[in-house]
Chain A
Amino acid sequence: MTTFPRRALLASAMLAGLGLSAPAVARDRPAGAIRVSDAWCPPTPPGAPTAAGYLTVSNQGREADRLLGGSSPVAAQVQLHSMTTQGQVMRMRPLTEGLAIAPGATARIQPGGGMHLMLIGLNRPLKAGERASVTLDFARAGKVQVEFLVRPQGEAAASMHMGPHEHMDHMDMGGGR
């Protein structure tokens, strides 16, 4: 191990000592074999009862795992849903079995990708620039806390949103990184 991670660790520890969280925490969150990155929520309109959550989950371990759902102080419930569109009719369904992530696989839960995390019963609107803390629940890895960055979707991402042709096939379950 080089000195860099150790220095980073030290810096985190110092920040933690100061009562601050490291700003990069949402970008890469190692939790044993599970690594969560690019966790974000679109900002919500006033009075919106729900928010979507998107993230990338990599299973770097040797055992299959399963994302089941989560919990958050900003919402009453956090659920994992599939989204499908057929004949322009959109359907949202709970992924009751969770999302299986094979060893070495990466699941990308992103707009137009046929899935989302849904924060239900928001306590307050999510504003761009802030972070929403979500504790993800994995069958094997257990609880993994992730800070979701609240940010607008961006036009590049928006153009691929809600594609009726884009479903689960966008998930890279085959391994790689």
Chain B
Amino acid sequence: MRRLLIAGAVAAAAVVAICLGLMFAQLRSGGAGGSARIPAKFELIDQNGRTVREKDLLDKPTVVFFGYTFCPDACPTTLARLTVLMKALGPEADRLNVAFITVDPARDTPRQLKQYLSAFDPRIQGLTGSDAAVATAAKEYSVFYQKAPLPGGGYSMDHSTAVYLVDRKRGFFEIVPPDEPQDEQLQALKRLLGVQRA
């Protein structure tokens, strides 16, 4: 039984990895092609305890990435980068919904997210929820995550680090690698804003 479960988990992870790979291949090489699919049917809680559904996010072009506050480098770096990009966009950034969705809801309570996000652009929403709610949201974005034990009883989370740009009409618009040069990321956000305007 246990072996079956592990095999299942490995297979599921492989499927997600393949899907991600395909999405990257399509979106990044094809430029502003987009895929018609949009994330649907999730319900999370923001850092102020408010319910946020997919349609609340999609009322503006959205910038979404998954991470967790226990993460020492990738996640704070991406949050810092988004803060810089939003500053560069100025008031235009008000026309975006920018969300940081935790892959570690057990530790990332709304309160923890609120405290942590106070170091970054105040327009960034921190989203958490039950394990099931987070799993649903991650599935909608084809995001992979998995707990990995650390010595001393703690754990880290393996997770997809990409930043997803989603437009309610055109679905997944672009997937931005977090390590891409800042100016290219800025151009991607501008493309996202332009599409929404048309």
A45 touches B119 (CB 8 A): yes
Excluding A48-B116, A51-B72, 15 further A-B contacts by CB distance (< 8 Å) are: A45-B79, A45-B118, A47-B115, A49-B69, A81-B150, A88-B161, A88-B175, A89-B17, A89-B20, A89-B161, A90-B74, A91-B158, A120-B154, A160-B179, A162-B179
Bound CA span A47–B109, Å: 12
Query: From residue 62 to 103 of chain A, which have CB atoms closer than 8 A to chain B?
Result: 76-77, 79, 81, 83, 85, 87-94, 96
- Does A118 make an interface contact (CB < 8 A)? yes
Contact B107 A112 (CB under 8 A): no
CB distance from B114 to the nearest CB of A (A): 9
Which of A30-38, A132-140, A151-159 binds B?
A151-159
Q: Could you say which of B71, B148, B179 contacts A93, with CB atoms under 8 Å apart?
A: B148
* B interface residues (Cβ-Cβ under 8 A, vs A): 17, 20-21, 24, 69-74, 76-81, 107, 112, 115-120, 144, 148, 150-152, 154, 156, 158-162, 175, 177-179, 181-182
Residue contact A164 to B177, C-beta cutoff 8 Å: yes
Residues of A within 8 A of B70 (CB): 49-50
Q: Are B76 and A88 in contact (CB under 8 A)?
A: no
Distance to closest chain A CB from B140 (angstroms): 17
Specify which of B17, B158, B181 is in contact with A159 (CB 8 Å cutoff).
B181
| Inter-subunit contact A88/B160 (CB<8 Å) | yes
**With A50-B72, A87-B17, A89-B144 given, is the CB distance from A45 to B120 under 8 Å?**
yes
Per-residue B-contact encoding for A41-65, CB less than 8 Å = 1, 0 else: 0101111111110000000000000
- A160→B180 CA distance, assembly (Å): 9
From A42, A46, A91, A119, contact of B116 by CB (8 A) = A46
| Beta-carbon contact of B74 and A162 below 8 Å | yes
| Docked-complex contact B72 and A116, CB < 8 angstroms | yes
Check B158–A89 contact: CB distance below 8 A: yes
Q: Is the CB of B161 within 8 A of A42?
A: no
Contact A79 B152 (CB under 8 A): yes
Is A142's CB within 8 Å of the partner chain B?
A: no
B119 partner residues in chain A, CB cutoff 8 A? 45-46
A125 → chain B closest CB, angstroms? 9
Pair B81/A158 contact, Cβ less than 8 Å? yes
